[in-house]
Amino acid sequence: MRIRLPPNAVPESKDGSSMRTMKTVGKDWVFPEFVLWQSQLLKIRRDFHAHPELGFRTHRTAKRIADTLLRFGVRHIDLKSVPGGVIAVINRRRPVMFPDDKWESMQPVIALRARIDASPVTERNDIFYRSRNPGAAHTQGHDGEIAWLLGVARNFAHDTKLGNSTLVLIFEPGSETGGGADAVINSGIFEKYGIETIFGVCADPTLPMGTYGFTAPEPGATPGSASGGNDPERVGYARDLINDLFTDAARTDLLPLPVPDDFSRYQSIVPGIMLRFGVRGPKHQTSLGSPEFDFNDSVLPIVCSLTGGYVMTLRQGWYESPALYEIYYTVVWYDCQQFYPFRR
């Protein structure tokens, strides 16, 4: 079912045209919180960029993540289950306005994954926050993934309106050297928390800023399997959300990126999707894995907001009930503030 915005959910621009009709790269709808936090997310991202760590030896990274989560109000933090990694859980109370048990049962346990390890590459960028560890650099955009997931965590840690839901945040080490996803799976967190679906992101310098996409499954592969990749039903939810709320540039036919990723290991256990978001811009032309690659900070508020919208779609069951979707806009996004158009 296609997600629809209520007619009055999008304010008008100064010239009287609907803001939602602005499809040009450089204008997207974002949660106001992420605009306000953008400078903080940038500092966080650049700190991790300057201190990359390899494999499972990501102890400083994990500690910084845990400290930041605590500062953002996340209280359930696990540094022991996955060596070098962080597992955090955000539980929300059921709202008074929906006290029935059926409402509670509609809300799945959702995992969000960010990779935190660096690549064994010596950085060649001339920037003040360049890697201080020779032979290690964030050339795959994992520093951006960390900042993305911390921003999402901050938003939901203070969210008191949106149901008795559970988010499991997975900060995965060892993705570049191999074994990261297996370490997370073998830790037993999927069974412990009853994770039902998983969502991940990946910076894609082959796509321009303002476009998003999903890797097409291999021909003949079973959807949701390790070879089948993205769950088609959830791709549909995310695609409709992108096209209705952000841009009309959601693609579902992308070829696999020529870089290693173990996200399919999770998809062989629970349905999930990996969202690829464009980071190519005038100052960001290099490919993933290049010693000159640097994450494009401009996309952080947008990707955080898109994740928030997708999570709320799954948590509230809006893909089944447009009325609930409309409640979100009237009660939450219009609670003392409106959308902000984000300008890069």
Domains contained in the chain, CATH given:
22-343 (3.40.630.10)
**What's the pTM value of the predicted model, to 2 decimals?**
0.80
Q: Mean pLDDT across the stretch 201-212?
A: 90
Residue predicted with more confidence, 263 or 31: 263
DSSP type of residue 30: E
How much is the pLDDT for 178? 86
| Range among 11-20, 72-81, 204-213, 216-225 with highest mean pLDDT value | 72-81
Contact 291, 139 (CB under 8 A): yes
Q: Mean pLDDT across the stretch 95-122?
A: 71
Percentage above 90 pLDDT, the chain: 47
pLDDT tens profile 56-106: 999 999 999 999 999 999 989 999 999 999 999 997 544 434 444 443 444
| Cα separation, 205 vs 196, whole angstroms | 30
pLDDT tens profile 183-203: 999 999 999 999 999 999 999
- Specify the range with the lowest mean pLDDT, choosing from 73-77, 226-230, 269-273, 283-287: 226-230
Longest dimension (CA), the chain: 57
Residue of 258, 90, 257, 274 whose CA lies nearest to 181 = 274
How much is the pLDDT for 69? 97
Q: What share of the chain is helix, strand, coil (3-state, %, to 5)?
A: 35, 20, 45
CB-facing half-sphere around the CA of 203: CA atoms within 13 A: 31
Residue 243's alpha-carbon distances to 22, 47, 254, 334, 344, in angstroms, are: 12, 33, 17, 21, 19
Residue predicted with more confidence, 162 or 259: 259
How much is the pLDDT for 151? 94
pLDDT grade for 270, boundaries at 50, 70 and 90: very high
Please report, in angstroms and rounded to a whole number, the separation of the first and last CA atoms in the chain: 32
Residue predicted with more confidence, 324 or 86: 86
| Range among 24-28, 55-59, 317-321 with highest mean pLDDT value | 55-59
Residues 6+ apart with CB under 8 A from 141: 202, 203, 279, 288, 293, 295
Statement: residue 219 has pLDDT above 50? yes
How much is the pLDDT for 92? 54
Count the Cβ atoms, other than its own, within 10 Å of residue 218.
Answer: 13
How much is the pLDDT for 316? 60
